[in-house]
């Protein structure tokens, strides 16, 4: 998947709009974009949305960002969301692979109780939002068969370490956040998972978004999160291999198939 669009879980209009924007996945948000008082209604809206949309053909993947475990809202989110069978859950503020293992066990018990297919809900982990998580990235290796991808975030990390800004005057991430990005990429590769790049928050700067997408593709990320539907076409374009790239990859595969003893091309 290339594009992952965040959509506030309490907005029926934005959820409907998200379906038609071309995103490969919608991140139905119960966390940061929903005010505390609105979370009960957001759970109801998201569950209903999943029930209506999940059996439709040609839909984006539907992934729910739940609230972090330390908020006390984890169980309420799962009570509403799991019976509605999302394709996946995005886990915010993951501290280590132990958080993923614990959630996986919780999901297994809920699926068994509800008579749902075991392992039907995948997990996506936001692994850099708290400083301690950067010290235990190896723990995501083998954390759960459900774990599909790692992604990273700079906004909550900024608050956690007490920084003033996470980008410099040119719009580039500063050193602490580049480190978080790099560690996410390494951890995903080591664990055999997809690596998803973080959001680009300036929705008016289309060239900045395009440049950041190109850098992500260059370095090994498979997709990028978005905060506005207008960002989706650029993300999809940059993360889609060109005809020339596909042809070159096919030639390499065919060459090694025909010459199994060959060295580096």
Residue 155 falls within a domain, yes or no? yes
Give just the sign of the alpha carbon dihedral 48, 50, 55, 59: positive
261: its two tokens: 């003893």
Residue 191: count other Cβ atoms within 10 Å of its Cβ. 20
Under the phi-then-psi rule, with left for phi > 0, alpha for psi from -120 to 50, and beta for the rest, what region is 43?
Answer: alpha
- φ/ψ (deg, to 5) at 163: -80, 170
Residue 141 falls within a domain, yes or no? yes
Q: At which residue do the structure tokens 């506030």 appear?
A: 8
Residue 125 falls within a domain, yes or no? yes
Residue 228 falls within a domain, yes or no? yes
37: its two tokens: 């008082």
What pLDDT score was predicted for residue 56? 93
Residue 264 falls within a domain, yes or no? no
Residue 35 falls within a domain, yes or no? yes
Beta pairing partners, 124: 90, 149
N-to-C CA span, the chain? 29
Distance CA 146, CA 110 (A): 14
Q: What DSSP element (H or E) covers 194? A: strand 194-197
* Upper half-sphere CA count for residue 246 (Cβ side, 13 Å): 5
Evaluate whether 154 touches 198 at the Cβ level (below 8 Å).
Answer: yes
Tell me which residue of 170, 195, 166, 200 sits closest to 182, measured CA to CA: 195
What pLDDT score was predicted for residue 170? 92
Average pLDDT of the chain is 94
pLDDT in tens, the chain (265 residues): 999 999 999 999 999 999 999 999 999 999 999 999 999 999 999 999 999 999 999 999 999 999 999 999 999 999 999 999 999 999 999 999 999 999 999 999 999 999 999 999 999 999 999 999 999 999 999 999 999 999 999 999 999 999 999 999 999 999 999 999 999 999 999 999 999 999 999 999 999 999 999 999 999 999 999 999 999 999 999 999 876 666 665 775 655 667 777 665 5
What pLDDT score was predicted for residue 261? 72
Residue 259 falls within a domain, yes or no? no
Residue 146 falls within a domain, yes or no? yes
Total tally of structural domains belonging to the chain: 1
What pLDDT score was predicted for residue 247? 66
Q: Which domain holds residue 39?
A: 3-240
Distance CA 10, CA 41 (A): 7
Which CATH number is 158's domain given?
3.20.20.60
Tell me which residue of 170, 114, 113, 104 sits closest to 140, measured CA to CA: 104
pLDDT in tens, 9-53: 999 999 999 999 999 999 999 999 999 999 999 999 999 999 999
Residue 254: count other Cβ atoms within 10 Å of its Cβ. 10
């Amino acid at each position: 998947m290339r594009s992952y669009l965040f959509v506030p879980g309490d907005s029926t209009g934005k959820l409907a709009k998200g379906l038609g924007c071309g995103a490969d996945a919608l991140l139905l948000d119960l966390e940061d974009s929903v005010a505390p008082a609105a979370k009960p209604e957001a759970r109801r809206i998201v569950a209903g949305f999943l029930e209506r949309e999940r059996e439709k053909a040609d839909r984006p993947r539907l992934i729910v960002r739940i609230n972090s475990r330390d908020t006390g809202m984890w169980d309420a989110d799962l009570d509403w969301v799991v019976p509605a069978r999302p394709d996946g859950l995005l886990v915010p503020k993951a501290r280590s692979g132990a958080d993923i293992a614990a959630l996986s066990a919780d999901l297994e018990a809920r699926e068994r109780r509800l008579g749902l297919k075991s392992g039907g809900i995948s997990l996506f982990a936001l692994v850099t939002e708290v400083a301690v998580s950067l010290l235990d990235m190896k723990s995501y290796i083998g954390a759960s068969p459900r774990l599909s991808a790692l992604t990273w975030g700079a906004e909550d990390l900024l608050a956690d370490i007490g920084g003033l800004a996470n980008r410099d005057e040119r719009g580039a991430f500063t050193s602490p956040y580049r480190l978080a990005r790099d560690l996410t990429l390494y951890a995903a590769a080591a664990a055999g998972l997809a690596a998803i790049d973080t959001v680009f928050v300036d929705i008016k700067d289309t060239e900045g978004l395009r440049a950041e997408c190109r850098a992500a593709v260059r370095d090994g990320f498979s997709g990028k999160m978005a905060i506005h539907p207008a960002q989706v076409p650029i993300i999809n374009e940059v993360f889609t291999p060109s005809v020339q790239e596909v042809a070159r990859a096919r030639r390499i595969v065919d060459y090694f198939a025909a010459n199994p003893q060959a060295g580096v091309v």
